[in-house]
Amino acid sequence: MNNTKKIYRSFYIIFSLLVCWSFNSYSDLKKFNTQMKEYEKEIRKVVDESINISEKENIEFTAKGIFPKCKKDDVYQLGLCYEKCKNGWEGIGPRCFQTCRKGFTDLGITCIKKPDTTKKPQYNRGIGSKPICSSSKDTIAGLCFDKCKKGYGRVAMGCRQKCPSGYKTYGYLCYKRWFGLKWRRRYKGTGKLPNACTSGKSLETGLCYTSCKKGYSGKGPLCSGKCPNGYNDLGVTCGYSGEIYGKTSKERKTDLPIYSGIKKPKNIKYIKDNKGRSLILHGVNSSNDSKSHKQFMPWVTEKDVIQETKTFGLNSVRLLIFWAAVEPKKGEYDQKYLERVAKRVKWYTDNGAWVILDMHQDVYGYAVGGNGAPPWATDVGPYEEYLEKDVTDIIYDAIEWEPVKKMWWLENINPATMEAYKRFWDYETYPYLQDHYLNAWKQVIKKFKDNPKVLGYDLMNEPHHPNLTSSFEKKYLNNFYKRMIRGIREIDNDKWIFFEPRSFGINFGKASGLTKVQDVRSGGPRIVYAPHIYPILIHEEVPYGSVDRKQVSIWSKNRSKELELHRTPLWIGEIGADEHVGDFNYYLEETLNMYDYMGAGWAWYSNQPNKSWALVDKDRKENEKLFYLVRAYPRAVAGNPISYSFDVHKAKFFLKFQTLDNVNAETEIFVPKRHYPNGYNIRVFNETSGTKWDHRYDAEAQIIYLKTENIGTPYTVLIERK
């Protein structure tokens, strides 16, 4: 039997086993069996719809995937298809921008050459030698004299007339025997310092130097080259005053994709910080081991938190808390537990992370083998004998398939668990359960409502009810949220409230039955839709394929419709799977890209160390999934994001956003060194000419802080690796 069929069968075998159990403590066996048949019918329906896939769908999801496709030769970018720009032009959104001239740095909307000072090219030609007299001069006592005129001979520094033929020289006289005497005429020359050099040398600053190479001029022993074109000669340096010009751009044809397996809301909403910026949350659940810890605490130390926030760039945490820990005894609240929570909260907030407090439950509570509710709040009616029953063991004994032992969620079918859920949701009959649940929340809120970095409260993890039809959400869950939101707003008007649909079916992609959830706070709503995603097969360690890809596709379409109903931001409180399952990387990459497409935040489940689902193993060594999870993303946007994306393989990040009048703050973009090991290039585009922007980079935090002007046209930011 293949894995898919075994999973399929495991859903059904429980029902035949259930009807064989003894219900001695329950008088109305007929009523129970009727309920079980309805339960089985709904599970069959959900599983059938989730797992079944037609041959046409299988081919389409295998060949085309889920992401938008464009016509041949068109270019896909941020959700739309664009005509390809000509050579020498670059396409950003609906416009083609001319590339910069050679030597200019591309900043997006402008091209710039920054002011620059550079040394002239130089080389040393050696020590200079003393000059000499030219060949047309006589050297006397280190001075140069003109050669004597014709008929004169050199006498020291002067010239004296030579004697005529037949005369003899005697000092100043010429004589011929005793009767012939003549005076020898004389004149003095003026000596000058030597100023000539040997061949191949030239006189410079009083010394002779070897001539400089072509294009160089000499001064002393150095030969200096010319300044580059456009630079001013400043002596030993060359100066450039800088230049900047705006790019020429032109509009290009824009079309919708011809195919898309996913959808996004028409009007995406975002969580806002106190500066009015839009927040995109990338985070982690902390932690799965809290459920079984004797003090309900996660395993993390502050050092681990620093790794998550600084190294991995996660800006949020979904911190698990438990009703059983807050109110271990009816009406008694454990303030020491809240102090321990506060310590962990501080670790995260001190390191720049937002905290969402999640009142967690799985399989209702501790008394029925789950977590969440305290034993005193677990009313199982006539099913106490089933508190000790383990559904997964019973199924394993029947089908002998090892993976079923990990399907802890099948414990929801235990009659004791089912009854506990029924009574909790039946407010008219058992109001004390929800009233205590709300009061437990109020204790938490009183503790944390004044902490500005505690972002909000996730009201209940994965609400569940044995009634698997949409009537549970419409009849029970909506009313529960009304009571919870109204009660919270009595003491906290500012925090964001996160609400989830039911888990079964919706986690696979099916539509939620919730009607519009509304906030009653003054000043506008602050509520967030927080569904989870767990495609059914990869969750149970079956390789990712067209069946799960179809569920991801349907998930995006149904969540988009629900967001248009609720008109809230989208935050996926849980995404997770074992990274060793076949094609896990495809699942993770596609899902994270889909979240970017939908403008959604997310929290990985969870950070408990292991080599399968976690970020790190027990030795704190990184798991492979961090290649995908640690990604460039806009942590906080000074305005409204229009779209953003990150190609994890090319390290190419896009962000398009519109500034707002009332937001005067920097946009924060996480740019991880693991994807940009040699640095990054950032360019900013805008249709408005003369737009100014600036940025700085915090290397420790790996964050770009981008400063932009508030103008009427959107900015597009492009970041690429060097």
Q: How far apart are CA 646 and CA 596, in angstroms?
A: 8
Residues 535 and 449 in one domain: yes
Residue 269 lies in a domain: no
Three-state SS at 196: strand
Boundary of a domain, candidates 630, 655, 674: 630
* DSSP conformational letter for 562: H
DSSP 63-131: HH-SS-B--TT-EEETTEEEPPPPTTEEEETTEEEEPPPTTPEE-BSEEEE--EEEEPPEEE----B--
Alpha-helical regions (H) of 379-507: 391-399, 415-425, 431-448, 471, 478-489
Q: What is the CA radius of gyration of the chain?
A: 42
Three-state SS at 474: helix
* DSSP conformational letter for 327: -
- Region for 383 from its dihedrals, namely left if φ exceeds 0, alpha if ψ lies in -120 to 50, beta otherwise: alpha
Omega of the bond prior to 16 within 30 degrees of 0, cis? Answer: no
Least confident of 167-176, 208-217, 585-594: 167-176
Residue 11 lies in a domain: no
Residue 188 lies in a domain: yes
Query: Which helix (H) or strand (E) segment is 533 a member of?
Result: strand 532-533
**Which range has the top average pLDDT, 65-69, 147-151, 461-465?**
461-465
Q: How far apart are CA 656 and CA 193, in angstroms?
A: 76
**Residue whose entry in the numeric block shows the structure tokens 């910026």:** 277
Dihedral pair phi/psi, residue 213, rounded to 5°: -65, 165
Bridge partners of 222? 124, 219
Predicted confidence (pLDDT) at residue 9 exceeds the cutoff of 70 = no
State mean pLDDT over 95-120: 91
Domain count, the chain: 4
Tokens of 586: 């495809």
Residues 340 and 203 in one domain: no
Q: What is the pLDDT of residue 649?
A: 97
Give the residue with greater pLDDT, 200 vs 613.
Answer: 613
Residues 587 and 562 in one domain: yes
% of the chain with per-residue pLDDT over 90 = 65
Three-state SS at 241: coil
Which structural domain range is residue 106 located in? 75-114+243-255
Bridge partners of 97? 90, 249
Q: Mean pLDDT across the chain, nearest whole number?
A: 91
In order of 169, 356, 519, the CA distances from 499 in angstroms are 131, 12, 11
Residues 250 and 199 in one domain: no
Residues 301 and 327 in one domain: yes
Please name which of 325, 417, 424 lies closest in space to residue 372, comparing C-alpha atoms.
Answer: 325
Please name which of 496, 471, 372 lies closest in space to residue 424, comparing C-alpha atoms.
Answer: 372
Please say whether the beta carbons of 198 and 128 come within 8 A: no
Omega of the bond prior to 287 within 30 degrees of 0, cis? Answer: yes
Residue 624: other Cβ atoms inside 10 A: 12
pLDDT band at 685 (very low <50, low <70, confident <90, very high): very high
Please say whether the beta carbons of 186 and 158 come within 8 A: yes
Please say whether the beta carbons of 5 and 11 come within 8 A: no
Q: Can you say whether the dihedral through the CA atoms of 395, 399, 404, 410 is positive or negative?
A: negative
Boundary of a domain, candidates 608, 630, 652: 630
Please say whether the beta carbons of 530 and 572 come within 8 A: yes
* DSSP conformational letter for 682: E
Residues 661 and 574 in one domain: no
Q: What is the pLDDT of residue 158?
A: 86
Residue 2 lies in a domain: no
Residue 3 lies in a domain: no
End-to-end CA distance of the chain: 51
Dihedral pair phi/psi, residue 570, rounded to 5°: -115, 130
State mean pLDDT over 130-146: 85
Give the residue with greater pLDDT, 691 vs 439.
Answer: 439
Please say whether the beta carbons of 224 and 180 come within 8 A: no
Residues 554 and 541 in one domain: yes
Omega of the bond prior to 606 within 30 degrees of 0, cis? Answer: yes
* DSSP conformational letter for 368: G
Residue 264 lies in a domain: no
Q: How far apart are CA 625 and CA 457, in angstroms?
A: 28
Residues 155 and 98 in one domain: no
State mean pLDDT over 472-483: 97
Residue 204 lies in a domain: yes
Residues in Cβ contact with 128 at an 8 Å cutoff, skipping those fewer than 6 apart:
204, 205, 206, 207, 208, 209, 220, 221
pLDDT band at 139 (very low <50, low <70, confident <90, very high): confident
Residues 495 and 551 in one domain: yes
Residues 453 and 422 in one domain: yes
Query: Which helix (H) or strand (E) segment is 348 a member of?
Result: helix 335-350
Q: How far apart are CA 284 and CA 471, in angstroms?
A: 32
Please say whether the beta carbons of 631 and 280 come within 8 A: no
679: CATH: 2.60.40.1180
Predicted confidence (pLDDT) at residue 20 exceeds the cutoff of 80 = no
Boundary of a domain, candidates 187, 214, 240: 240
Q: What is the pLDDT of residue 406?
A: 74
State mean pLDDT over 257-282: 95
Residues in Cβ contact with 572 at an 8 Å cutoff, skipping those fewer than 6 apart:
530, 531, 532, 533, 595, 600, 601, 602, 603
**∠ at Cα 498 (494, 502), nearest 5°?**
155
Q: How far apart are CA 207 and CA 204, in angstroms?
A: 6
State mean pLDDT over 578-601: 97
Dihedral pair phi/psi, residue 697, rounded to 5°: -125, 125
Q: How far apart are CA 399 and CA 10, in angstroms?
A: 8
Residues 110 and 181 in one domain: no
Three-state SS at 214: coil
Q: How far apart are CA 342 and CA 357, in angstroms?
A: 11
500: CATH: 3.20.20.80
Least confident of 21-25, 98-102, 159-163, 271-275: 21-25
pLDDT band at 19 (very low <50, low <70, confident <90, very high): very low
- The string of pLDDT tens digits covering residues 331-351 is 999 999 999 999 999 999 999
Residue 500 lies in a domain: yes
Please say whether the beta carbons of 277 and 302 come within 8 A: no
Residues 92 and 158 in one domain: no
What is the crossing angle of helices 431-448 and 335-350, to 10°? 50
